[in-house]
Amino acid sequence: MNNEKHCGFVALIGEPNAGKSTLLNHMVGSKISIVTHKVQTTRSRIRGVSINGASQIVFVDTPGLFKPKRRLDRAMVKSAWSEALEADIIVFLVEANKGLTEGVKYNLEKLLGSSTSASSIILVINKIDRVKSQILLKLTEELYEEYQFEETFFISATKGYGTTELKNWISGKLPVGEWHYPDDQIADFPLRTMVSEIMREKLTLRLHQELPYQLTVETEKWEDRKDGSVRIDQIIYVARDGHKGIILGPNGSTIKSINIAARKEMEDFLQQKVHLFCQLKVRPNWLNEKARYTEMGLSFRDGDL
């Protein structure tokens, strides 16, 4: 009987909104990464752990790959490429309904020009439920003209189509080795980061226009109480004073509803009662503060990509 264990890292890369976070959550079987209709919501590296037979798959959800402009954008994209190039397998996600965009071409050229240690680079075309089969065939042909992927999978991360076949294939490609995490662990990042991400997701879903990209959330205090509950104190940093009014809403109604939604999800995730307290602070230059980048697990050094 073969008792060999397998373990490895699988980087999920692609354009913003390609479905990386949705796929990660589906593979892990629990929500651990932000999913919104807005792009660039994943900022830091999030690792999700999935067991499939004798294989432990460590999926790495990276910030979407795009041409960066701001310092935060550059830090996010740098983090994504760093994770991708060190992974055992790279899953290159493309949206079926958007096809071979300029962003996909840019990322493919970047990937082709990089020195990656990945043993396999596979193409995963997501959101197949949104297009007809002939469009999928044409898209696949166009992509293979640019790069010869080891394998291609057609999936719908939202509905779970094709994801079992994808997970089984990945399991069979992982190197032999001991598991990196206990078999009951589904994620690798601090709980403080998770609850910060939950609050930021609720803010992102509720607010409009560009405001979500001008704010960040930091969990300042975490107090475990004797009754089994936890008190969580968070600071929501915004870039301008005018943003505070948008978040507060009429008589504080907006932040109250956001707080309720965030607290409920935190309780579901932590499996304990949560007392959630939030403060709003204006930090005009937070996008250039080292401490904010450290909180997100990003490099503050603004080097070349």
Based on the fold, state whether residues 33 and 100 are members of the same structural domain.
yes
Residue 66 amino acid letter: F
Residue 185 lies in a domain: no
* CATH code: domain of residue 283: 3.30.300.20
Based on the fold, state whether residues 125 and 99 are members of the same structural domain.
yes
DSSP structure class, residue 183: T
Domain that holds residue 59: 6-173
**Which tokens in the block code for residue 208?**
């409009």
**Which tokens in the block code for residue 15?**
């354009």
Based on the fold, state whether residues 165 and 229 are members of the same structural domain.
no
3-state secondary structure of 100: coil
Which sign, positive or negative, has the C-alpha torsion 263, 266, 272, 276? Answer: negative
Based on the fold, state whether residues 141 and 225 are members of the same structural domain.
no
Based on the fold, state whether residues 11 and 147 are members of the same structural domain.
yes
Phi/psi of residue 184, nearest 5 degrees? -105, 10
Based on the fold, state whether residues 158 and 208 are members of the same structural domain.
no
Based on the fold, state whether residues 24 and 146 are members of the same structural domain.
yes
Domain boundary among 140, 173, 206: 173
> How much is the pLDDT for 36?
46
Q: What pTM value is reported for the model?
A: 0.72
Phi/psi of residue 159, nearest 5 degrees? -95, -10
Please list the rounded mean pLDDT of every run of 10 residues in the chain (305 residues): 84 86 89 56 68 93 59 63 80 94 85 76 95 94 89 96 97 95 84 87 79 79 96 93 90 95 94 96 76 62 53
Residue 181 amino acid letter: Y
Residue 301 lies in a domain: no
Residue 243 lies in a domain: yes
Q: Please state the domain count of the chain.
A: 2
Based on the fold, state whether residues 212 and 257 are members of the same structural domain.
yes
Residue 178 lies in a domain: no
3-state secondary structure of 46: strand
Based on the fold, state whether residues 21 and 165 are members of the same structural domain.
yes
In the chain, count H helices and then E strands: 9, 9
Residue 20 lies in a domain: yes
Based on the fold, state whether residues 83 and 18 are members of the same structural domain.
yes
> How much is the pLDDT for 253?
95
Residue 249 lies in a domain: yes
Residue 234 amino acid letter: Q
Domain boundary among 113, 147, 173: 173
**Which tokens in the block code for residue 274?**
């949560």
Domain boundary among 173, 200, 219: 173
Q: DSSP per residue over 108-147, as a string?
A: HHHHHTS----SEEEEEEE-GGGS-HHHHHHHHHHHHHH-
